[in-house]
Amino acid sequence: MSSRTEPDGGVERPLLADPQDQDYGTQGINGNQNELEPVANHGTFIRNLGTLEAFAIIISIVIGSGIFTSPGSIDSNVPSPGIALIVWLVGGVLAWTGAATLAELGTAIPGEGGVQPYLRYIFGDVFGFLAAWTWIVAVMPATLAILSIVFIESIFTASGVTDQADRIEHKLLSVLVLIIINGINSISTKVSTQLNNFFVVTKFVTIAAVVIAGIAVIIFQSLNPNRDDLGGRDWFIRNWLSYRDSLNPDGSETHWKKLNEWETLGHLSTALYGSLWAYSGWDKAIYISAEMSHPARQLPLSINTAIPTIIGSFLAINVAYYVLLPWDVVSTTDSVAVTAITRLLGFGFGIVAAILICLVVAGSLLGNSFVASRMAVAAANMGWFPQFFAIVGHVGIKPAASDSFEGSGDQENEASKSDAPRNALLLSTVISALYILLGNFRALLTFNGLGEYTFFLLTVLGALVLRYREPDLARPYKTFILIPVIFALVSGFVVIRGALFAPLQAAILIIVWIVGLAVYLLRKRLAGSRQT
């Protein structure tokens, strides 16, 4: 699924692109044969992001807490380490199918706000509004709250405190972390992307450290098969695909050979849900497509390089976990990386591992905060949210017109001013802080997943609808038809299963939609009365 070069003109076509699509790389956003000239800048932000920045933002968002916290819960819901690796691979491929479909929509229907313009174009204004509303007041605040909580709890876990997550002191520290990260994003886009690049490096360093430790154990164990003081020996003496009883965190065991097919499917679906959480963020490149200089080329290229890089990294580090730890330990910990390094190298190196993981989480928090503010700006520009939230470079109402940043005009003057959406960042901070104070990690995780995948499902179904409703729509990038079909089926399963197993979170989400619909109708009525 990597890129390949076509002989006609040397244009790189991502492998997920339809081979029958002859227009990739030669057709502009509006179908003009202009070799992907930069799109005229009519949006809020300057189009100054390239493929590398988009690649880094995807990496920074996706490689967060999930790869360091989810392996334990996934392992407890699969019958063998080999199947756990298959679940990680399947989750990555599914994330890729969704990202590829969104890339098709992102190049065919350019605009700010991610899925908002697509749903509006395909199903109507109200669907676009509800997507924007859900992401701004539910999905993204929950994501930022989760990451802030994980940041603080990683520190306390490294120090041996594992059961105090609901203490008000922990919650207030999580809010402080959130405020700091959003404050950094409020400086400027350039500062955010530069710091984001640093966090991307720390992510790869952290993953590489665990993988190298695993390779070292493999080498020493192979040279001296009788040595049993490094890592766990299960990887060396046991079959990776053979069923074994799983030890759960509460001390109970899952006896896989005694489960029926339905029970086994339930466990495997739970494992897949954990994998999808670890890969969450794969959609975020489309939220900054309006800031790319050549989105029709850069969006697919960034997605089709970042996602396989992430899949490879996740598979490698999970193999390392199973090499470094006894297999009956993996399922019992929510801090697999810290546990593995501590067992191998001691408490001091465990602290270092915890610090690196905190940096990884901080990078994911920075990237998600960056994207969340752009969603509010896009919604305000559509008239769905007060125009107050579309103002960039200032807190509060816009000052004199000559002092504002509009995304056009003299580039040198604009470059000297902040282009950060500070009002939108303030909104994100307030809502996310409420989620931290009122919620907890597991409840927010389920709530977040239900909100995201409901609209992912609608968006991908919309892509299929457009294939038949508007077959001649200019699509600079086009996926195989089977790609969105697979994702629609799996995301539908995820939504239905999540609603059945978490009825409280599903009910709260429905209430959010009802309130959002009321707000939409009220704003529409007020707009109509002003026109008359």
Look at residue 310 in the predicted model and tell me its pLDDT: 92
Strand partners, 37: none
Q: What residues contact 240, with CB distance under 8 A and at least 6 apart?
A: 80, 81, 82, 85, 322
**453 vs 173: CA distance, rounded Å:** 30
Establish if 118 belongs to a structural domain.
Answer: yes
Reply yes or no on whether the pLDDT at 260 is more than 80: yes
Task: Report yes or no: 184 and 195 within 8 Å, Cβ to Cβ.
Answer: yes
* Position 137 confidence tier, pLDDT thresholds 50, 70, 90: very high
Q: Which stretch of DSSP H or E encloses residue 4?
A: strand 3-5
Strand ranges (E), 177-303: 246-247, 253-254
Containing structural domain, residue 515: 43-531
**143 vs 249: CA distance, rounded Å:** 25
Reply yes or no on whether the pLDDT at 36 is more than 50: no
Look at residue 258 in the predicted model and tell me its pLDDT: 85
Q: Which has the higher per-residue pLDDT, 230 or 349? A: 349
Least confident residue range of 35-39, 50-54, 232-236, 405-409:
35-39
Q: Which has the higher per-residue pLDDT, 185 or 33? A: 185
What pTM value is reported for the model?
0.73
Look at residue 430 in the predicted model and tell me its pLDDT: 93
Establish if 220 belongs to a structural domain.
Answer: yes
Least confident residue range of 75-79, 174-178, 368-372:
368-372
* Position 322 confidence tier, pLDDT thresholds 50, 70, 90: very high
Establish if 22 belongs to a structural domain.
Answer: no
CATH number at residue 391: 1.20.1740.10
Strand partners, 12: 5
Establish if 311 belongs to a structural domain.
Answer: yes
Establish if 329 belongs to a structural domain.
Answer: yes
Look at residue 31 in the predicted model and tell me its pLDDT: 38
Per-residue pLDDT of 352-392, as tens digits, reads: 888 888 888 888 888 888 888 888 888 888 788 888 888 87
* Position 163 confidence tier, pLDDT thresholds 50, 70, 90: low
Q: Which has the higher per-residue pLDDT, 52 or 310? A: 310
At 12 the three-state DSSP class reads: strand
Please tell me the chain's helix, strand, coil percentages from 3-state DSSP, rounded to the nearest 5. Answer: 70, 5, 30
Residue 463 tokens, joined: 């892509």
Establish if 288 belongs to a structural domain.
Answer: yes
Q: Which has the higher per-residue pLDDT, 143 or 56? A: 143
Q: Which stretch of DSSP H or E encloses residue 520?
A: helix 503-531
Establish if 3 belongs to a structural domain.
Answer: no
Reply yes or no on whether the pLDDT at 5 is more than 50: no
Look at residue 109 in the predicted model and tell me its pLDDT: 80
Establish if 4 belongs to a structural domain.
Answer: no
Reply yes or no on whether the pLDDT at 286 is more than 60: yes
Residue 24 tokens, joined: 């990739």
Closest CA to 23 of 37, 33, 12, 38: 33
Look at residue 215 in the predicted model and tell me its pLDDT: 92
Domain tally, the chain:
1
Task: Report yes or no: 103 and 303 within 8 Å, Cβ to Cβ.
Answer: yes
Look at residue 33 in the predicted model and tell me its pLDDT: 34
Least confident residue range of 185-194, 275-284, 287-296:
287-296
Mean predicted confidence (pLDDT) in 279-292 = 72
